[in-house]
Amino acid sequence: MNLRTFPPQVEQLARQWRGEVLTSSTWTQVGDVIEHFESEPFFVRSSEGETGLAKPGTVEPPVHQLPRAAHEKIASDLAFDLGLPVPPVLLWSRSGAGPKQQRYASISALAFPRANPWAMAARLSSRLLPRLAAVASAMAVFDSWVANADRQNDGNLLVSEDDSVSPPVLRVAYLDFANSLAYRWGKGERWWKWEEGVACYPDGVPWDVRSMALAIGEIERFPPATLREIVNRIPGSFLSEQHRTAIREGLSYRQSRIRGIMASMYPGIP
Amino acid sequence: MSLDKVWLSFVDYRPDPATPEKDRIALGCILEARARRSGLFSLAGRVSLTEPELMIMDRIGRETLVHPADFLRQQLREVLDRAGGALSFEQGGALRQLSQVHRWSLYVMPPRLIRIERHLSQNNTQALYSATGQLFIARMLGRDVSLDRTLRAKQIIPEDWRAQVPPAWQIAQSSLSAPMEPRAQR
């Protein structure tokens, strides 16, 4: 399965970042913190010229309550291995963070230029929705696996119809996994065993049963050792042991249940 | 209507939001003022973009932003219709909502408070309208206007700046009003 349509240089970066956990580059904030977002994100640029969105910018809630940066990194690494369009992520230990700024942040690479949130692209939905069917169906499976509670948000899906390349490419990026994984699972076993799925996004997108079945199969076969590697390598300052255990257990449990979870929402899945 | 507290947002297009000044296109400027039980919105925007400007964008951007002034008016109308009078001016009103969605290549600046002083020959609505047009011209030309001082509605920019606007950058101005939450009790 490969539903990633990022430009080649971003894919190259993604391969590199998949092999790393913490950034060793120097990053500089560009512009102001994006106000009135819970996580207070902000754009950053590295000394090597890479660009990204850093978050959370705020210390609230503290990492031991909600490990948002760890969630972003784990989701990005899992999606990379599955061929799903989540931008590459590295963890960022901000040694110069002020008292109200989060020291344990993540940087999500900007997946492509000229990005439009779905809120803007939706006016072209008759043309775009059919072309999003395969990726939206696979992402619904992924969101259900990681229990992403924040998908219904027009700003968390970016699209760009890039006709500067031949043939033109519809570039797609699903963002924001801060409220996934331990967001609920940290409250105990019954939460990761709660077999609730996430619907295809954006609303009205046709359901592609083949793509959904393919994603289910890929997740069912996801190597347990790789899963452990992705979760275990997150430094303790970004992820408490209690949350780490919940994430490992939750992903493992739901891996075996993902077909049933999706079938309860989309009857007809083989 | 009071001009002591007016929210301002510029609207730009920037292909890479982490390099915001590179290939930036100024699309519009929106001011939001509080009348008795409603919000008044004054918009200035480019009537249309030039071919080289459109080529900076992807196909979605080209199709939706070809007439920026119309697009901004429509976006604002949608926010106001969705809110159905539940917007709070004190918290940035409709501009706050617009800026939360459009933070990528299309960028609606988080609203900031400014203060406008009307000329004796103007009423408040005329002053708001005049300030919107002048602030947008300054933005298009890439000139800074100090927003910390009180803006005198007839003299925000020097007269000759208008003449520096290329003919292709034609501006359309319009206004909208919408019901708003009652003022907070003091």
Residue B30 has pLDDT above 90, yes or no: yes
Task: Calculate the CA dihedral of residues A207, A211, A216, A221 and round it to 10 degrees.
Answer: 180
Select from A208, A211, A247 the least CA-distant residue to A230. A247
Residues A91 and A140 in one domain: no
Are residues A203 and A120 both part of a single domain? yes
B65 to chain A, closest Cα gap in Å = 10
What is the rounded distance in angstroms from the CA atom of residue A239 to the CA atom of residue A182? 10
- Give tens-digit pLDDT for A201-211: 999 999 999 99
Q: State the residue for tokens 């940290």.
A: A186
State mean pLDDT over B54-67.
96
Whether A38 maps to a domain, the answer reads yes
Tokens of B171: 């501006």
Contacts of B49 in chain A (CB under 8 A): none
- To the nearest whole number, what is the mean pLDDT of chain A? 93
Contact B60 A37 (CB under 8 A): no
Between strands B38-46 and B171-179, the pairing is antiparallel
CB within 8 Å: B58 and A158: no
ipTM of the shown complex: 0.88
pLDDT confidence bin for A1, thresholds 50/70/90: confident
Q: What is the pLDDT of residue A59?
A: 80
Average pLDDT rounded to a whole number, residues A133-138: 98
CA distance A127 to chain B (A): 11
How high is the pLDDT of residue B55? 95
Interface touch A155/B58, C-beta < 8 Å = no
Asked if the model's pLDDT at residue A44 lies above 90, the reply is yes
Query: How close does chain A come to B58, measured CA to CA in Å?
Result: 5
Boundary residue ending a domain (A109, A140, A157): A109
Is position A177 within any domain?
yes
Question: Is the predicted pLDDT of residue B76 greater than 80, yes or no?
Answer: yes
Residue A94 lies in a domain: yes
pLDDT of residue B179: 80
Among A73, A90, A109, the domain-final residue is A109
Total domains in the fold of chain A: 2
**Average pLDDT, integer, range B105-119:** 92
A98 and A20 assigned to the same domain: yes
What pLDDT, on a 0 to 100 scale, did the predictor assign at position B186? 43
Answer yes or no: do A156 and A257 share one domain: yes
What's the pLDDT tens digit per position in A78-88? Answer: 999 999 999 99
| Paired sense of beta strands B2-13 and B25-34, if any | antiparallel
Place of tokens 């031949």: A166
Verify that A92 and A124 share a domain, yes or no: no
Amino acid found at A130: P
Nearest to B18 among A43, A114, A124 (CB): A43
List the single residue in A34, A52, A161 with the smallest CB-CB distance to B58. A161
Domain-located, residue A99: yes
From the DSSP assignment, how many helices (H) and strands (E) are in chain B?
Answer: 6, 8
User: Which residue matches tokens 């080209």?
Assistant: B62
Record: contact A114-B58, CB cut-off 8 A: yes
Residue A6 has a pLDDT of 97
At residue A23, does pLDDT exceed 80?
A: yes
A51-55 and A169-174 beta bridge pairing: unpaired
CB pair distance less than 8 Å for B101 and A163: no
Residue B37 has pLDDT above 80, yes or no: no
Structure-token pair, residue A158: 């970016």
Q: Which residue has the higher pLDDT, B17 or A22?
A: A22
3-state secondary structure of B92: coil
Residue A238's nearest CA partner among A113, A9, A74, A27 is A74
> Does residue A133 have a pLDDT over 60?
yes
Give CA–CA dist B54/B63, Å, rounded: 9
CB atoms within 10 A of CB A146: 23
State pLDDT tens for residues A63-119. Answer: 888 999 999 999 999 999 999 999 999 999 988 888 888 889 999 999 999 999 998
The per-residue pLDDT for B184 is 57
Q: Does residue A130 share a domain with residue A105?
A: no
Task: Report pLDDT for A36.
Answer: 63
Looking at A109, A137, A160, which one is the last position of a domain? A109
Q: Provide the token pair at B151.
A: 């803006």
Span A253-268, pLDDT tens digits: 999 999 999 999 998 8
A57 plus A95 within the same structural domain: yes
Question: What range does the domain containing A89 cover?
Answer: 8-109
User: A37 pLDDT exceeds 80?
Assistant: no
Residue predicted with more confidence, B181 or A23: A23
> Does residue A198 carry a pLDDT above 90?
yes
Asked if residues B85 and B180 have their Cβ atoms less than 8 Å apart, the reply is yes
- Rounded to the nearest 5°, which phi and psi values hold at A245? -60, -45
Q: Report the candidate in A232, A72, A211, A53 with the shortest Cα–Cα distance to residue A148.
A: A72
